[in-house]
Amino acid sequence: MSNSMVDIVELLLTAEIYNRYSELDVNDLPKNIRKKFWSREHRSVPRPVSVSVSDIKDLYQVEDVSRDVRSLPFVDIDRAGFGIKITALEVAASWFGKQERSDERIANNPVLAFYFEKLRQKGADYRSAREKVKPKEADREWIETLISEISEEEGGKDMLKLVRIIAPEDIMQPLSDLILTKNQEEEIEKIVRAIQYRDYLRKIGLYDIGKVLMVGPPGTGKTSAARALSEKLGIPFVEVRLSMITDQYLGETAKNIDRVFELVKQLSPCILFIDEFDFIAKTRVSDEHAALKRAVNTLLKAIDEISLTRDGVLLIAATNHPRMLDSAAWRRFDEIMNFPLPDVDMRRKILDIVTRDIDGTFDTKQISHLTEGYTGSDLRMVIREAVLSSLVEDRTYLTQQDLLYAVDNFNERAVIKSDEYAA
pLDDT tens by residue, 15-27: 999 999 999 999 9
Cα separation, 380 vs 383, in Å, equals 5
- What pLDDT sits at residue 130? 96
Question: pLDDT band for position 12 (50/70/90)?
Answer: very high
Q: In the chain, what are the domains? A: 3-133 (no CATH), 144-334 (3.40.50.300), 344-422 (1.10.8.60)
Backbone angles phi, psi at 274, to 5 degrees: -105, 110
User: What does residue 199 show for φ and ψ, rounded to 5 degrees?
Assistant: -65, -40
The mean pLDDT value of the chain amounts to: 90
- Give counts: helices (H), strands (E), the chain: 24, 10
Question: Which residues, other chains included, contact 406 with Cβ-Cβ below 8 Å and sequence gap of 6+?
Answer: 382, 383, 385, 386, 389
The answer to whether residue 422 scores a pLDDT higher than 50 is: no
Under the banding of pLDDT at 50, 70 and 90, the label for residue 221 is very high
Average pLDDT, integer, range 344-371 = 96
Query: What is the predicted pLDDT for the residue at 158?
Result: 84
Q: Given this model, what pLDDT does residue 405 score?
A: 95
Q: Is 253 exposed, middle or buried (0-12, 13-18, 19+ CB in 10 A)?
A: buried
CA nearest neighbour of 49 among 13, 89, 18, 8: 18
pLDDT reading at 423 higher than 50: no
In tens, the pLDDT along 108-138 reads 999 999 999 999 988 899 999 999 999 999 9
CB 91 within 8 A of CB 19: no
How many C-beta neighbours within 10 Å does residue 224 have?
19
- pLDDT at residue 250 in the model: 57
Tell me: pLDDT of 403 over 90. Answer: yes
Instruction: Please compute the mean of the pLDDT values over residues 88-115 and round it to a whole number.
Output: 96
Average pLDDT over residues 287-316: 85
Say whether pLDDT at 155 is over 60.
Answer: yes
- The confidence score (pLDDT) of residue 400 equals 96
Query: Tell me, what's the pLDDT at 421?
Result: 43
Mean pLDDT of 102-106: 96
- State pTM to two decimals: 0.85
